[in-house]
Amino acid sequence: MTRIETRIETLITRLVQQAPALDSNVIAELTAALHTNGTPLARSLARVIELVGANQIDQGIALPALAMACGSLVDPRLTAREHEAARFEIETLLPVPDGASKAPKMTAPDVPLAQLIRGPRRQP
């Protein structure tokens, strides 16, 4: 394990242990270490950690997933496939852009309800 990977693991552990109090210095140092790593997983982790620090993502939900993904990032036995799975999981924590989560508006049906009947139509 490289020095940067050891630092990432130490910092995420500290962040989890100190919760619910979030130390902005730990967040800044952890995101810097993740940006130094530079992999897609590390960049996703850095973005989510920044949002947790800004109280835009609930830390109770995010921190366990972040800790597991950081563990995946620094585990030399894991391949790009496992890293991609961890990245996908972390990105599900990102907020949805405005408008993307809104349900479509209800529209009037093409056929009025009165014209819908059960069974065959009867001739009057």
Using a cut of 0.95, tell me whether the model's pTM lies above it.
no
* CB 37 within 8 Å of CB 5: yes
Both tokens of residue 105?
């508006």
Chain-centroid distance, C-alpha 102: 19
d(CA 97, CA 115) in angstroms, rounded, equals 40
- pLDDT the model gives residue 105: 67
Which pLDDT value is given to residue 85?
Answer: 95
Predicted local confidence at residue 111, as pLDDT: 72
Mean pLDDT by 10 residues, the chain (124 residues): 90 94 94 95 96 93 95 94 95 77 64 70 63
Q: Provide the residue ranges of all domains of the chain, joining segments of one domain with +.
A: 3-91
3-state secondary structure (DSSP) of residue 28: helix
Determine contact, residues 45/16, Cβ cutoff 8 Å: no
Tokens matching residue 15: 């962040």
Q: How far apart are CA 52 and CA 27, in angstroms?
A: 9
Report how far residue 51's alpha carbon sits from residue 62's, in angstroms, rounded to the nearest whole number.
10
